[in-house]
Amino acid sequence: MDLYNQFCVAAETSGAVLVDCKGPAEAVGYIVKHSDGGVLVPSSESFKRVDLANQLQKAGATLLEVNRSQAAEAVSGVTSACFAIADTGTLVLESTPEDVRLASTLPTRHFVLLDRSKIVADGLAAVDSLRRMHQRDMRNYIAYITGPSRTADIERVLTIGVHGPKQLHILLLDDWSSDLLEM
Amino acid sequence: MKERSKAYQARIDKALATPKLQQALHQFGDAYLVSREKAFAGLDFEALRREIGVMKDDVRNNHARYMQQFIDNAQAAGATVYQADTAEDANRYIAELAVKQGVKLTVKSKSMASEETHLNKALEAANIRPLETDLGEWILQLSGQRPSHMVMPAIHMFKEEVAYLFSKETGQQEPADIAHLVEVARQQLRQGYLDADMGISGANLAIAETGGIALVTNEGNARLATTLPKTHVALIGIDKLVPTLEDAAKVIRVLPKNATGQALTSYVTWIRGAVPCGDGEKDLHIVLLDNGRSRLAADENCCETSRCIRCGACANVCPVYQSVGGHVFGHIYIGAVGIILTAFFHGFDNAAEIVKACIGCRSCVAVCPANIDLEGIILSLRETIADKEGIGGGKSLVFRKVMRNRKLFHGLLRAASVLQKPVTRGERTIRHLPLFFSPLTEWRTLPAIADKPLRDIWPKQRLNAPAKKVALFGGCANDFLYPELGTDLIEVMNHLNVEVDYPLEQNCCGVPALYSGDKETATELAKQNIDAMLKDNPEAVLTTCPTCTMALQRDFIECLKDDPSWKAKAERLAEITVDAAGYIVNQLEAADQFENLPLAQKVTYHDSCHLKRGAGVWREPRQLIETSGHELVEMDHADRCCGFGGSYSLTGHPEIAKQILGDKLQDIEKTGADCVAMDCPGCMMQLRGGLEKNESKVQVAHTVELLAAGLRAAKAKQS
Ligand code: SF4
Ligand code: SF4
């Protein structure tokens, strides 16, 4: 199995929803369709290129300012993954800017755009990029995200969505971003 | 009995009287093994754990250097680092910091280190409210309990209890529906993150290369608690240190897989330095906790424990843990590693009872991803504690005065064989014992001491030109309880043209003394046995009891390691010692000599702990059983302990042993087999005792006995 397929299988096993998108417009449509409330869109390089926030707003999304009080009210957060890890179905998000953390922790739904070509084999293969992130910035908050938030703390029964997002939607794109360090 | 021991016994009894708890832990244990196997599919667990062991040993040996590197890097990234020698020291630092910053509320994500230091109490004493946000920890906080598992802290609680606690908290009637209860927790705790001025976390890793930490979590509360409040305090045991990001990745690769059978947790969070927070930057304090860890790392016998990555697996698979739970089989840290950590972090007194509650089955050793010989370490710790406390009066006298004197010991056993006549009524087993001995035969019969021990009936063998000459190390059970097992071994070996000698100077293997913490007696017995067994220079020393095998292969060397000439002899003996099944299959390659014997039955096989996880032998007896024509049906949990554990089931913790035996008997009966085979007289004693008491039809046999019976039947047919 190639890395892309391996990633898809593992991500689905972890409880993520995978969405094939032909282009950013389709991703925008999907997000709007699945957001029945305020949406957080922290700024990122890839988002800026296509002015994603603007596109979302035009398509009818209610954009909220990304700050703490608004974030607490939001239902959706939209981010873009630096890259993904195939064997565990994991997304890697450079979350040092607080905006990214607010958008990926507080809302019930988390939408992540991912370029299909940015997938490494496993946690060890991810170290190269992880190290470069550490070399680029002196301070880091880097998140590996695998499926929605979960717990098995009551009678060991797996239950989805305890403190973090209850849904994780991965929007798969081509020609979205090629730099493994870019959000 | 000491007050402490009495109190401990009462807790055991209470736990054993809670079948719901045992059921829950058993179910978890079963499900865990299945998902763990799936999670590791395609990976070489042995190689992975060796690698982690080597890496963590390097950290231990160069701790100061890596630690300095970590601290320098963390400080360069804007963190404040505090090194706390003790729990009190850590608590004081954190409480003072909170007071200074005017903190009213702290949100905590799960941290065993803060449980270890009782941080919540210290915060409350300073009028600061600690709010646990991990679901399990919050449940425990509401109920005023401590964790009973390192990874799943509230594993001992049921949804009805949780509903009751949550209802009290919300002032509404909350139904005992798990999804609903999880939602209640989400709603109730949410505001806490936004209101709190300080977030407190632990860490799974501290990475020297970066000065960063990593958190491996599922719920998402750690991400919130390290993001929203202005101040972040990370309380980290100094044994969480790893050199590089690759090393961290290696630990993360095995940690969730081995903890719960999850490929990876929902979140792995890498944090370095004072990251942005609101309009400014985070005030990050890293509190590095020693609290006994340096002493542990410097301890000659226990230092391997510093490799631990706190996956909790050693409890998941432990039959004692499954029987009594983590509140009884642990202090703050639980299970196998809990015994050791408790001794070093919370004092020997807190470890003295739990160290005796381990039955020595080595299940923990088999699953430890850091390759720690937990059982061996627990054994040495028991010795240390026995030295400190002096082992129980009667027992130690028996060891010192009687067992070291072989003639006296064997003389007493012979005398006992005569004295027991009134209770055995001529039978081979004891069903009831009078007076205060009666608990011993309440739930299983015990074998009577044989009229004539094996040493008295050892026959002359008439092989023309034996291919090999070997010696048997019988051990007490084979010699005095089951002498026919010894003569059956002769039958089997002679069939392979191997002559077996029985050196008469051999004595008890010393394990009962060693496992009770009397190393001196064990050492004396080791010497006697080495001399006896090596005297005629046999080609191999066979064993029928895997506990003896481990004594000859491992414990003798350990006892004599400081005496070069004895050590060399011990090593020679270890080299030639082999269990009977292993000898036939691997060394003689003669399994086919038993092809299709008569008397075929449906046989299930019980793996003895010390044979499978000590000697690494489990395929061999199965091969012999199948080759000789029996139909082999596997039972569930074939390699789970039977609860014998030598003196454990007789005088140590018979109630726990009985519980473990009960589980085993169920698994045996479920197979519908005519016979359960095994390669250990201790297991035979336990299982035969239990099956007889239940009036079961299932027979108990040593693999050697099955082979001998087949050979005899074949001969009878021929003539
Ligand atoms: S040796 Fe067996 S009884 Fe002892 S701690 Fe390990 S698993 Fe538990
Ligand atoms: S001792 Fe081994 S099995 Fe037990 S918690 Fe530590 S790493 Fe896990």
3-state secondary structure B613-672: HHHCCCHHHHHHHHHCCCEECCCCCCCCCCCCCCHHHHHHCHHHHHHHHHHHHHHHHHHC
Q: What is the pLDDT of residues A78-100, one digit of tens each?
A: 999 999 999 999 999 999 999 99
How many Å apart are CA A123 and CA B519, to the nearest integer? 46
The partner residue sitting opposite B228, judged by closest CB among A10, A68, A144, is: A68
Say what the pLDDT of residue B2 is.
76
**Below-50 pLDDT ranges, chain B:** 393
Judging contacts by C-beta atoms under 8 Å, the chain A residues touching residue B194 are: 68, 72
How many Å apart are CA B485 and CA B628, to the nearest integer? 18
Per-residue b/e over A45-83, b at no fewer than 16 CB within 10 Å? Answer: ebbeebebbebbbeeebebbebeeeebbebbbbbbbbbb
Query: Which residue ranges does chain B devote to CATH 1.10.1060.10?
Result: 3-10+293-389
Judging contacts by C-beta atoms under 8 Å, the chain B residues touching residue A13 are: 263
| Ligand with an atom nearest the CA of residue B656 | 1
In terms of C-beta distances under 8 Å and separation of at least 24 residues, what long-range contacts does B9-15 make, across chains too? B11/B324, B11/B327, B11/B328, B12/B324, B12/B328, B12/B357, B12/B653, B12/B655, B12/B656, B13/B655, B15/B323, B15/B324, B15/B325, B15/B327, B15/B328
Judging contacts by C-beta atoms under 8 Å, the chain B residues touching residue A104 are: 223
Say what the pLDDT of residue B393 is.
47
How many Å apart are CA B560 and CA B546, to the nearest integer? 20
Structural domain for A52, as ranges: 3-173
Q: What is the pLDDT of residues A142-168, one digit of tens each?
A: 999 999 999 999 988 899 999 999 999
Helix (H, G, I), strand (E, B) or coil at B405: coil
Q: Which CATH number covers residue A123?
A: 3.40.50.10420
Nearest 5°: phi and psi at B568?
-60, -40
- Does A38 reside within a domain? yes
CB B644 within 8 A of CB B682: yes
Say what the pLDDT of residue B647 is.
74
CB B272 within 8 A of CB B77: yes
How many Å apart are CA B689 and CA B711, to the nearest integer? 27
Interchain CB contact of B272 with A (< 8 Å): yes
Helix (H, G, I), strand (E, B) or coil at A32: helix
CB B101 within 8 A of CB B198: yes
* Greatest CA separation for chain B: 98
Closest-CA residue in chain B for A165?
A: B220
- Does A161 reside within a domain? yes
- Provide the domain count of chain A: 1
Yes or no: is domain B3-10+293-389 CATH 1.10.287.1120?
Answer: no
Q: What is the pLDDT of residues B193-219, one digit of tens each?
A: 999 999 999 999 999 999 999 999 999
Q: Architecture of domain B591-718 in CATH?
A: 3-Layer(aba) Sandwich (3.40)
Pairing, β B267-272 against β A140-145 = antiparallel
Query: Which residue ranges does chain B devote to CATH 3.40.50.1860?
Result: 591-718
3-state secondary structure B349-386: HHHCCHHHHCCCCCHHHHHCCCCCCHHHHHHHHHHHHH
Say what the pLDDT of residue B415 is.
79
Two tokens, residue B237: 């045991």
**pTM (2 decimals)?**
0.91
Asked whether B364 lines ligand 1 (CB < 6 A), one says yes
- Does A56 reside within a domain? yes
Interchain CB contact of B265 with A (< 8 Å): yes
Counting atoms of ligand 1 from 1, which one is nearest the CA of B362? 1
Q: Which of B353, B374, B377 to mutate to test the pocket of ligand 1 (most atoms within 8 A of CB)?
A: B374
Burial class (CB in 10 A: 0-12, 13-18, 19+), B626: middle
Q: Architecture of domain B40-289 in CATH?
A: 3-Layer(aba) Sandwich (3.40)
**Below-70 pLDDT ranges, chain A:** none
Residue nearest to atom 8 of ligand 2 (CA): B311
CB B617 within 8 A of CB B610: no
How many Å apart are CA B329 and CA B474, to the nearest integer? 34
Alpha carbon of B132 to those of B138, B215, B470: distances in Å? Answer: 5, 16, 63
> A-B interface: how many C-beta pairs under 8 angstroms?
176
- Does A183 reside within a domain? no
* H helices, E strands: number in chain B: 38, 22
